[in-house]
Amino acid sequence: MRDIDESKQPLLDHLIELRRRVLWSVGTLGVTFGLCLTQARPIFAFLVQPLLRAGQGKIIYTDIFEAFFVEVKVALFAALMLSFPVIATQLWRFVAPGLYAKEKRTFLPFLLLTPFFFVAGAAFAYFVTMPFALHYLLSYQGNIGGIQQEALPGVGNYLSFVTRFLFGFGVAFLLPILLMILERAGIVTRDQLARSRRYAIVIVLAVSAVLTPPDAVSMILLAGPLYALYELAIIAIRITHWRAARRGDSAAADGSDDGGEVAQTFLGPETPPGGGRVGGSGPI
């Protein structure tokens, strides 16, 4: 079996294949968008639960078209989440024929794990980070110098807040997969990652500041898990190397045993120092 498809295709065939994959992706996104548009209000009702649990029972819109566009954005957001596995599969089918068999075995598990890590990050943001951040941000309400300060979040503003949290945490939780791919590709090594912890902390803080709303609490709530995932990636790489070394030692041991058996088969019974056969009547 060949490691790679040696058939050559002209550029036009590659473009036709790319168009077919893009059409599948766009078609899937369009269908899921239409379905989600009919369920935009229940989806948005699910997204506002952290705000409700934080004690905020009112949300407003000041632009007459704002509520309509929020429902469209909610439908598009949900459609992207639902159609991502299909889009990723189409991308893999376009790229996979140009990879060697070893490369396919390397990258396919990471591709399969990507949705699970993304969903884990979004779930962490929804159930843990967002309620904590909303409790903190809404605590500024109250009497300030005789004036009542009240939070009245707009639907568009809150939707931007939610999507930024969910996408930010979902993408951030893909860090172990990215580091393991870079290590498998030989771009970085385990020792380099272990020696670069101080730089990783700075990068984690910078990424957290970009992916979260502009407040210190949200940044810290993302920076902590993100650095923990960095350490998890180093541990996972170390375990992978350890298992590969054990398989190599086992294969070497099996190979040496087989070699002894083969030598025994071809050389025959053991020959004594005198040169005679064991059990023979004399020298040959």
Residue 271 — left, alpha, or beta (φ > 0 → left; ψ -120 to 50 → alpha)?
beta
Residue of 126, 147, 205, 155 whose CA lies nearest to 41: 155
Residue type, 164: R
Could you tell me if 82 and 32 are in contact, meaning their C-beta atoms sit under 8 angstroms apart?
A: yes
Query: pLDDT-derived band of residue 8, with 50, 70 and 90 as boundaries?
Result: low
Pair of tokens at residue 20: 């077919």
How far is the C-alpha of 104 from the C-alpha of 88, rounded, in Å? 15
Q: What is the pLDDT of residue 43?
A: 93
Torsion of CA 200, 204, 210, 213, to 10 degrees: -170
Name the burial class of residue 118, with classes exposed (0-12), middle (13-18) and buried (19+) by CB atoms within 10 angstroms of its CB: buried
Could you tell me if 190 and 238 are in contact, meaning their C-beta atoms sit under 8 angstroms apart?
A: yes
Average pLDDT on 69-97 reads: 88
Could you tell me if 169 and 222 are in contact, meaning their C-beta atoms sit under 8 angstroms apart?
A: yes
Torsions phi, psi for 142 (to 5 deg): 135, -170
- Residue 257 above 90 pLDDT? no
Query: pLDDT-derived band of residue 255, with 50, 70 and 90 as boundaries?
Result: low
In the block, residue with structure tokens 């990068």:
203
Helical H runs in 39-138? Answer: 40-47, 49-53, 66-95, 101-124, 130-137
Pair of tokens at residue 176: 């172990």
Between 107-121, 192-206, 248-262, the lowest mean confidence (pLDDT) is in 248-262
Average pLDDT on 85-96 reads: 84
How far is the C-alpha of 87 from the C-alpha of 23, rounded, in Å? 10
Per the prediction, the chain carries an average pLDDT of: 80
Residue 275 — left, alpha, or beta (φ > 0 → left; ψ -120 to 50 → alpha)?
left
Could you tell me if 175 and 224 are in contact, meaning their C-beta atoms sit under 8 angstroms apart?
A: no
Name the burial class of residue 273, with classes exposed (0-12), middle (13-18) and buried (19+) by CB atoms within 10 angstroms of its CB: exposed
How far is the C-alpha of 282 from the C-alpha of 257, rounded, in Å? 32
Q: Which residue has better confidence, 253 or 83?
A: 83
